[in-house]
Structure 1
Amino acid sequence: MPHIRRLGFIALGLITLMQGAMAQEEQIRKALSARLPSSVAIDEVTPSPIPGLYEVRSGMSIFYTDPNGDYVIRGDMLDTRRQTNLSQARLAKLSSLDFSKLPLQDAIVSRRGQGTRQLAVFADPDCPYCKQLESMLEQRDDITVYTFLLPVLGPGSLDKAKAIWCSRDRDAAWRAWMQKSQAPTAQPDCDTSALERNLALASKHAIKATPALVYEDGTRVGGAPSAVQLEGQLAQHRLATTDRQKVAP
């Protein structure tokens, strides 16, 4: 009986602590919402590893504040013991996507070799860095690339994206345009709603520039890496995916 009573006191204490933390976070949210520009949406407030300092998430950005929301600190939080940039690690987690849940039916599929390694790319037909990336991908073997057309550079890129998507062979049309600047030929009466879904998907995950790469383990990287960096990242994130599958129940 005393044991049950003790457990009850512990549970009550935990509930009280949780309620107090929630009230504190709500107080910070209200204070910052009233004081910061309306364009800064307060999406999440959580305690940071530093006692008395709170992490505030606004979209895909984070900053820090005191318990009253009187002061704001922008910059990276570093763990000197583990030599870790906690802010960058948090942002990487926020930007990650679940590869298995990507709508691959809305992507152009390019398979090289057996295609066991997988990579998703958000790309604009008029993006020079996307062309640079495509040239590097052409030299890779044993990879399947899912290209989500993301025409964000203007009406011209939208027209090209529609023509590529509506080509008889999307993969061939995409490669011909990106590597040789050969204009695609669109088939009539083509459904281009996939492009609208791609734009909505990018907006949901705050993908604002191309190219954006999503590796098998969900890690997202912006910009075109060098050939050496690309090969290293493919190997690293492939290994992370394999290790995760081994420990999965």
Structure 2
Amino acid sequence: MQIALVASKPLRLVMPIWLAAAAFSLACAPSFGQDTPAALRALERQGLTIVGKMASPAGLTAYAGYMDQQPVALYLTPDGKQVIAGTLFDANGKDLTRAALEEAVRKPMSEGAWKGLEKANWIVDGRDNAPRKLYVFTDPNCPYCNKFWSDARPWVESGKVQLRHIMVGILTPSSAGKAAALLADKNPGAALSAYEQGLTRTNATALAGGHAKPLDDSGLKPLSSIPPTVKAKLDANEKLMASLGLQATPAVLWRDANGQLNIRQGMPESAMAEVLGPR
């Protein structure tokens, strides 16, 4: 059997979009442990999470890792001094890496992403004892965020779901100022609820007529000058959103019965029961 090592095409958890990535190798660095190759330790210092060894053909020693929710397969060179990130193919062009890599990183990536969401700067919407918790990347000027907020009311008000809005300001020039105003409010949950409720009817009319447009500033004045502490929260939220490969709001993240992280971008109107659970 012939095996070729080529540039890695990383997969994305839940949304398996394979993107191009360059192969690379690292020279030997001082060892931190007798059983862990020094090159892997060097990668860990650069932010890569090493999950552990994974199955590999042809006697190769392979490790699974990930960075910013991008899985990486690492193959140790025979002398143990370098690692190469890539995908193995056999003589028939069959990918010999993907299945093993997915199996190795699925649970650790899911748990790591969920912990990142728990530590984010979010606004509570719903009861703390709600059995189902969802994280929602929300832009205050996003009309579909407002629709999702409105459509989710039956689940939230019945106590079945708690939404945790991770505020970002990416849609229009006033988005950041409005997101900052909400985060800086003495009662962010009440402020968000009043703002969304105040625009629900006009936004629903606009969407029904096929005229989706950013929400106006009625009921929420953007901060003209964002305090450094609040800006740091917004920056962290947007960095987290980018690390998860998300580019649109609302972006909803939840865990299913098996603990698997699920992600849905855009308005999940036809899948509300899937996202929020039984009504």
Equivalent residue for 1:59?
Answer: 68
Secondary structure of the corresponding residue to residue 155 of structure 1: coil
Match for residue 48 of structure 2 among 37, 43, 52: 43
Q: TM-score, normalised by structure 1?
A: 0.58
Equivalent residue for 1:243?
Answer: none
Tell me whether 1:27 sits opposite 2:39 in the alignment.
Answer: yes
Equivalent residue for 1:197?
Answer: 233
Structure 1 residues 187-235: Cα deviation after superposition (integer angstroms, max 9, x where no partner)? 9999864463243255357355433334376935241363453322433
1-structure distance, mates of 2:130, 2:85: 51
Match for residue 73 of structure 1 among 75, 87, 105: 87
Question: Which structure has the highest helix share of the two?
Answer: 1
Identify if the C-alpha distance between structure 1 residues 129 and 29 changes in structure 2 by more than 3 Å, giving closer, same or farther: farther
2-structure distance, mates of 1:159, 1:214: 24
Residue 121 of structure 1: how far off its partner (Å): 1.7
Structure 1 residues 109-128: Cα deviation after superposition (integer angstroms, max 9, x where no partner)? 4338x955433322112335
Read off the aligned partner of 1:97 and give its amino acid letter.
K
Tell me whether 1:176 sits opposite 2:198 in the alignment.
Answer: yes
Equivalent residue for 1:247?
Answer: none
Identify if the C-alpha distance between structure 1 residues 55 and 169 changes in structure 2 by more than 3 Å, giving closer, same or farther: closer
Identify if the C-alpha distance between structure 1 residues 111 and 57 changes in structure 2 by more than 3 Å, giving closer, same or farther: closer
Residue 85 of structure 1: how far off its partner (Å): 4.5
Read off the aligned partner of 1:43 and give its amino acid letter.
L
**Which consecutive unaligned segments of at least 5 residues does structure 2 have?**
1-31, 78-82, 89-94, 204-214
Instruction: Figure out how many residues of one structure are paired with residues of the other and give that number.
Output: 201
1-structure distance, mates of 2:85, 2:133: 44
User: Root-mean-square deviation (CA), in Å?
Assistant: 4.4
Equivalent residue for 1:244?
Answer: none
2-structure distance, mates of 1:28, 1:199: 30
2-structure distance, mates of 1:102, 1:28: 27
Q: Which is further off, 48-57 or 182-191?
A: 182-191
CA contact (8 A) 2:69 2:113 kept: yes
Highest RCO, 1 vs 2 (Cα 8 Å, sep ≥ 6)? 2
2-structure distance, mates of 1:63, 1:49: 14
Residue 157 of structure 1: how far off its partner (Å): 0.9
Match for residue 86 of structure 1 among 103, 108, 111: 103
CA contact (8 A) 1:151 1:158 kept: yes
Equivalent residue for 1:239?
Answer: none
Tell me whether 1:138 sits opposite 2:174 in the alignment.
Answer: no
Identity %: 15
1-structure distance, mates of 2:47, 2:119: 27
CA contact (8 A) 2:137 2:167 kept: yes
CA contact (8 A) 1:211 1:223 kept: yes
Residue 22 of structure 1: how far off its partner (Å): 0.7
2-structure distance, mates of 1:221, 1:115: 20
